[in-house]
């Protein structure tokens, strides 16, 4: 994968305007390329894979036609039309041809930069979602492969497949599956991609020590941009094993038991692992854990991981293991499809929550974000197919909901009222009835920004495995929601700049 910045094409037949636009963009840190004819614009756009937006002067010969051809040949590119006040007919033609915006000449530098940044943001969102859809499809295929290997008892195929799945889905050149052995209390590599030595020659890692051992004892994925620069690991000799230093490690935990870790390092092209990679790795780790826990692949007996000091784990209900894990994969895929189709926040949240309500037969299903003003949890959206509404606001320091929000622990229980931390005024819907309960922490760049709650009819649906899948998928939905709002803010900034420019004129 390339870490190069997205570029902007500037197509203007007038040298003065072309150079002035390019200078303003470069001063704002935006990479751009300049052309003076429509033919050059089409050739360059086809040759440059990182071309995300184009500024097209409609005064060029066949300017509106150029807009149409750019959109047809490069469907994701965002075209901004440039025109004088007397070219309104051409502007309308360009907008019909697919231009996303237009700017009136002479240009205001701030207005220009805001419009281009908005176009780049929209391109990046669509590009990321398209890549995420492809990776979800690949992940789904790998889950089926791992399930088949587990059911057939082919441990070597399962172990190698888990490492290959991580490499494929995360674009990593070095990956491994490490399993925790109870007798030696150490992690052993049982499957690997890109290893320079045979598996049997790889040294075990003591549980709780080193990077993999430390992650095996924790609850969430660890993402590092450069292991060598992290003070926790910089002095350790293993940092020399990594070419780029970027790594992602996921613990495999079945309730309170540690089973092992999935590791990925040295991403293709030297790119770091980000939020999408963390989400995909959580989803894969949840399924690998489920298969190991049910004995579908031979694994050394796990040892119990120590309880976190901050708070003991919430109640976990052991549900009967299904014959296949496809329902969880389908649920994740439905939510990701909602991310690809919906952009507006209310529709996005509704589509994601409807998938949860349908798959888990749950009502209500709700999503809360932290209100920056009050610090409380504010209801962002809900699905209440049976007329059971969730509460509009929740305190952040009471009940099992607070455990998910403050400690980041998934709550999955059939009888929440039996837990001493249960608060009936917080951990129930508006009607006050207690029942099977899922409360899921939602993360953005490692920070908990809210929770999702579901009240399924069936206790089996309130499983930790399903909760882990939902935590990953719904956190991705929240990321899109907040990105869209940031784009709206930039639109407001643009409108303000236009008003100010008009008043100065």
Report the alpha-carbon distance of residue 139 to residue 133 in Å, rounded: 10
The length of the chain in residues reads: 505
R_g of the chain computed on alpha carbons: 26
Give residues with Cβ within 8 angstroms of 163, minimum separation 6.
Answer: 175, 176, 177, 191, 192, 193, 262
Report the alpha-carbon distance of residue 90 to residue 81 in Å, rounded: 9
CATH code 3.90.550.10 for 329-487: no
Report the alpha-carbon distance of residue 111 to residue 211 in Å, rounded: 47
Tokens of 489: 């803010």
Closest CA to 412 of 311, 320, 318, 292: 318
Closest CA to 280 of 469, 410, 477: 469
**Cα dihedral sign for 413, 415, 418, 421?**
positive
Count other Cβ atoms within 10 Å, centred on residue 380.
Answer: 18
Report the alpha-carbon distance of residue 227 to residue 236 in Å, rounded: 10
> Around 407, how many Cα atoms within 13 Å sit in the side-chain half-sphere?
22
Q: Is the Cβ–Cβ distance between 166 and 172 less than 8 Å? A: yes
pLDDT tens track, the chain, 505 positions:
444 568 999 999 999 999 999 999 999 999 999 999 999 999 998 888 788 999 999 988 888 899 999 999 988 899 999 998 777 788 888 888 889 898 988 888 999 999 999 999 888 878 877 787 788 888 888 988 998 898 888 999 999 999 999 999 999 999 999 999 888 899 999 999 998 888 888 889 999 888 888 888 887 888 888 766 666 665 555 444 545 578 899 999 887 788 999 999 988 777 888 888 888 888 888 888 888 876 644 444 444 433 333 332 333 333 333 334 456 667 777 776 676 566 677 888 888 899 899 889 999 999 999 998 899 999 999 998 777 899 999 999 999 999 999 888 889 999 999 999 999 999 999 999 999 999 999 987 778 999 999 999 888 877 777 787 788 788 878 877 777 676 566 556 655 655 665 565 5
How high is the pLDDT of residue 231? 63
How high is the pLDDT of residue 462? 75
Q: Is there a shared CATH topology between the 153-304 domain and the 329-487 domain?
A: yes
Q: Is the Cβ–Cβ distance between 362 and 454 less than 8 Å? A: yes
Our CA angle for 377, 380, 385, nearest 5°, is: 115
Tokens of 364: 């209500």
Q: Is the Cβ–Cβ distance between 259 and 299 less than 8 Å? A: yes
Report the alpha-carbon distance of residue 219 to residue 211 in Å, rounded: 14
Q: Is the Cβ–Cβ distance between 412 and 440 less than 8 Å? A: no
Q: Is the Cβ–Cβ distance between 264 and 273 less than 8 Å? A: yes
How high is the pLDDT of residue 211? 81
Tokens of 161: 């497949």
Domain extents in the chain: 7-126, 153-304, 329-487
How high is the pLDDT of residue 390? 95
Q: End-to-end alpha-carbon separation of the chain, Å?
A: 46
Give the phi and the psi of residue 236 in degrees, each rounded to 5: -85, 145
Angstrom CA distances, 65 to 39, 59, 386, 494, stand at 11, 11, 52, 27
How high is the pLDDT of residue 425? 95
How high is the pLDDT of residue 114? 92
pTM of the model as a whole = 0.60
Angstrom CA distances, 5 to 49, 121, 317, 322, stand at 11, 12, 47, 45
Report the alpha-carbon distance of residue 72 to residue 92 in Å, rounded: 18
CATH number of 7-126, picked from 3.40.47.10, 3.30.160.100, 3.30.465.10, 3.40.50.2300: 3.40.50.2300
Closest CA to 187 of 197, 198, 202: 202
> Around 188, how many Cα atoms within 13 Å sit in the side-chain half-sphere?
16
> Around 171, how many Cα atoms within 13 Å sit in the side-chain half-sphere?
20
CATH number of 153-304: 3.30.450.40
**DSSP three-state, residue 58:** coil
Burial class (CB in 10 A: 0-12, 13-18, 19+), 433: exposed
Closest CA to 207 of 267, 265, 142, 257: 257
Which string of DSSP letters, residue by residue, matches 246-295? -EEEEEEEETTEEEEEEEEEEEGGGPPP-HHHHHHHHHHHHHHHHHHHTT
Report the alpha-carbon distance of residue 32 to residue 352 in Å, rounded: 37
Tokens of 456: 């399924």
Which string of DSSP letters, residue by residue, matches 302-335? PEEPPPPSS-PPPPB--PPPPS-SHHHHHHHHHH
According to DSSP H, which parts of 391-463 are helical? 399-402
| C-alpha 267 chain-centroid distance | 17
């Amino acid at each position: 994968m390339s870490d190069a910045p997205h570029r902007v094409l500037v197509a203007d037949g007038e040298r003065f305007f072309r150079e002035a636009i390019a200078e303003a963009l470069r001063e704002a840190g935006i990479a751009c390329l300049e052309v003076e004819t429509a033919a050059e614009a089409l050739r360059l756009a086809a040759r440059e894979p990182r071309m995300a937006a184009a500024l097209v002067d409609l005064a060029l010969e066949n300017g509106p036609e150029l807009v149409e051809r750019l959109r047809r040949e490069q469907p994701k590119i965002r075209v901004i039309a440039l025109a004088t006040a007397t070219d309104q007919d051409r502007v309308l033609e360009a907008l019909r041809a697919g231009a996303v915006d237009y700017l009136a000449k002479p240009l205001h530098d701030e207005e220009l930069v805001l419009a281009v940044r908005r176009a780049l943001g929209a391109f990046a969102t669509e590009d990321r979602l398209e890549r995420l859809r492809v990776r979800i499809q690949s992940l789904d295929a790998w889950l089926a492969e791992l399930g088949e290997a587990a059911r057939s008892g082919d441990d070597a195929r399962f172990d190698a497949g888990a490492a290959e799945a991580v490499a494929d889905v995360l674009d990593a050149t070095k990956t491994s599956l490490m399993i925790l052995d109870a007798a030696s209390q150490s992690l052993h590599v049982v499957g690997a991609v890109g290893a320079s030595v045979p598996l049997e020659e790889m040294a075990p890692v003591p549980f709780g020590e080193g990077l993999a051992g430390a992650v095996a004892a924790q609850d969430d994925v660890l993402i590092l941009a450069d292991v060598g620069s992290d003070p926790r690991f910089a002095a350790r000799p293993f940092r020399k094993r990594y070419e780029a230093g970027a790594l992602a490690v996921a613990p495999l935990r079945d309730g309170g038991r540690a089973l092992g870790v999935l590791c990925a390092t040295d991403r293709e092209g030297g790119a770091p692992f980000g939020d999408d990679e963390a989400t995909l790795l959580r989803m894969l780790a949840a399924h690998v854990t489920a298969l190991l826990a049910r004995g579908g692949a031979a694994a050394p007996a796990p040892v119990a991981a120590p309880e976190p000091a901050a708070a003991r784990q919430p109640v976990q209900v052991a549900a009967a293991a299904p014959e296949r894990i496809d329902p969880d994969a389908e649920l994740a895929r439905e939510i990701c499809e909602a991310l690809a189709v919906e952009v507006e926040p209310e529709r996005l949240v509704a589509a994601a929550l409807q998938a949860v309500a349908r798959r888990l037969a749950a009502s209500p299903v709700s999503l809360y974000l932290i209100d920056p003003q009050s610090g409380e949890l504010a209801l962002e959206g809900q699905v209440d197919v049976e007329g059971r509404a969730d509460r509009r606001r929740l305190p952040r320091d009471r009940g099992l909901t607070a455990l998910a929000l403050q400690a980041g622990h998934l709550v999955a229980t059939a009888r929440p009222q039996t837990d001493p931390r249960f608060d009936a005024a917080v951990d129930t819907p508006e009607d006050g009835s207690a029942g099977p309960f899922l409360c899921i922490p939602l993360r953005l760049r490692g920070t908990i920004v809210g929770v999702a709650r579901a009240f399924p009819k069936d206790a089996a649906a309130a499983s930790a495995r399903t909760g882990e899948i939902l935590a990953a998928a719904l956190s991705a939905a929240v990321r899109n929601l907040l990105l869209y709002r940031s784009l709206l803010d930039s639109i407001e900034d643009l409108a303000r700049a236009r008003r100010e420019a008009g008043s100065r004129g």
